[in-house]
């Protein structure tokens, strides 16, 4: 069914069916963090809380055993892993359709290879994920509808309601950034792929993997054109204040910026606001800095303007002295 909708024909991937216990035995939990790893984890947790990506009272949940139904696709072995007990057949079927669509895309585009060669930032990695997760979601939805005229069916499809729910997740201060970004990747990604499929069939969907990996701005803008050329902020960094060091720098992209803005200001998020941000997006740089001797953390988020210059600087810190020190280095 997936092959029929996509107009492609690939050998079926291997399918490994196992119990939850067998899966747990084959995938033991990671070793506990070392003290140094735990300290770094805590620093990033505080940094993300400063931007509203995690609630100030967020605590890392205890790991829970995997339970059926669970389906995933392993690109390394070209295997669909199925943990199912037959109690949720519709969910199991949907998971199988989703992973079959994912496997088909991997055959055509080598998703692992794309991730290694075309995605160097958080933003570009999430752009790729929004493409393949959105594509697999869209084709699984199409297949589950069990209609024969898929072109006509696509014209009836809409992800607008799902996008409204995702916007609520963007604004919810108790939702983690991962939960909000997951909603974006599946729902906005599916909406983006739907638009391409309507406009040019599979050829247009294939072209997204050539043209839309630079930023999540593409899926956020959907069918609307993006006006600006992307440009990384590569200005030399000043030395951090005494006792601090930079832990990382990365580009988070417009979706994470929108999550930050709606949570910090409480302003309503609309499709028009999102599309305006996406169309004018150029780039960003997020710096995370931590103290060597205390729990103090600072974040500096620079947003690029039309010419690649720094047009906006967001500084947040765990205490006033640290905030003042970094604001002096990065005036906004």
Q: Are 70 and 64 in contact (CB under 8 A)?
A: no
DSSP secondary structure code for residue 188 in this structure: I
Residue 121's contacts (CB-CB under 8 Å, 6 or more residues apart) are 250, 251, 253
Residue 82's contacts (CB-CB under 8 Å, 6 or more residues apart) are 15, 16, 17, 18, 70, 71, 92, 95, 96
Kindly give the pairing relationship between strand 14-17 and strand 244-250. Answer: unpaired
87 and 193, same domain (yes or no): yes
239 pLDDT more than 90: yes
- How many domains are there within the chain? 2
Residue 29 lies in a domain: no
Sign of CA dihedral 141, 144, 147, 150: positive
Residue 199 lies in a domain: yes
- Give whole-number Cα distances, 222 to 94, 131, 242, in Å: 25, 11, 45
pLDDT bracket for residue 7 (50, 70, 90)? confident
Domain residues for the domain of 249 are 244-329
Which has the minimum average pLDDT: 33-37, 79-83, 222-226, 303-307?
222-226
195 and 253, same domain (yes or no): no
Q: Are 177 and 48 in contact (CB under 8 A)?
A: yes
Residue 54 lies in a domain: no
DSSP secondary structure code for residue 11 in this structure: P
268 and 319, same domain (yes or no): yes
98 and 11, same domain (yes or no): yes
- Per-residue pLDDT tens digits for 9-54: 888 899 999 999 999 999 999 999 999 999 999 999 999 999 999 9
74 and 173, same domain (yes or no): yes
Q: Give me the pLDDT at residue 147, please.
A: 72
1 pLDDT more than 80: no
Residue 145 lies in a domain: yes
272 and 130, same domain (yes or no): no
Torsion of CA 184, 185, 188, 192, to 10 degrees: 160
pLDDT bracket for residue 228 (50, 70, 90)? low
229 pLDDT more than 80: no
């Amino acid at each position: 069914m997936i092959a029929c909708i996509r107009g492609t024909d690939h050998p079926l991937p291997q399918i490994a069916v196992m119990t939850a216990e067998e899966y747990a035995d084959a995938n033991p939990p990671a070793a506990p963090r070392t003290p140094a790893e735990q300290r770094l984890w805590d620093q990033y947790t505080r940094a993300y809380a400063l931007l509203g990506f995690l609630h100030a009272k967020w605590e890392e949940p205890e790991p829970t055993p995997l339970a059926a139904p669970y389906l995933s696709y392993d690109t390394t072995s070209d295997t669909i892993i199925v943990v199912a007990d037959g109690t949720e057949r519709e969910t199991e079927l949907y998971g199988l359709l989703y992973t079959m669509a994912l496997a088909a895309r991997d055959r055509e585009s080598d998703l692992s290879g794309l991730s290694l060669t075309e995605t160097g930032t958080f933003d570009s990695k999430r752009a790729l994920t929004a493409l393949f997760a959105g594509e697999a979601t869209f084709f699984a939805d199409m297949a589950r509808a069990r209609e024969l005229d898929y072109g006509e069916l696509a014209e009836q499809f809409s992800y607008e309601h799902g996008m409204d729910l995702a916007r609520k997740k963007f604004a919810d201060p108790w939702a983690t950034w991962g939960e909000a970004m997951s909603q974006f990747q599946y729902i906005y990604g599916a909406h983006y792929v739907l638009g391409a499929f309507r406009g040019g069939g599979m050829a247009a969907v294939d072209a997204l993997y050539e043209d839309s990996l630079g930023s999540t701005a593409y899926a956020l803008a959907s069918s609307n054109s993006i006006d600006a050329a992307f440009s990384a902020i590569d200005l030399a960094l000043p030395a951090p204040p005494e006792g601090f060091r930079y832990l990382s720098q990365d580009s988070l992209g417009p979706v994470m910026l929108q999550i930050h803005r709606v949570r910090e200001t409480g302003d309503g998020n609309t499709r028009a606001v999102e599309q305006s941000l996406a169309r004018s997006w150029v780039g960003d740089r997020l710096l995370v800095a931590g103290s060597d001797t205390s729990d103090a953390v600072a974040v500096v988020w620079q947003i690029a303007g039309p010419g690649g210059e720094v047009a906006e600087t967001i500084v947040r810190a765990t205490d006033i002295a640290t905030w003042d020190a970094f604001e002096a280095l990065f005036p906004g």
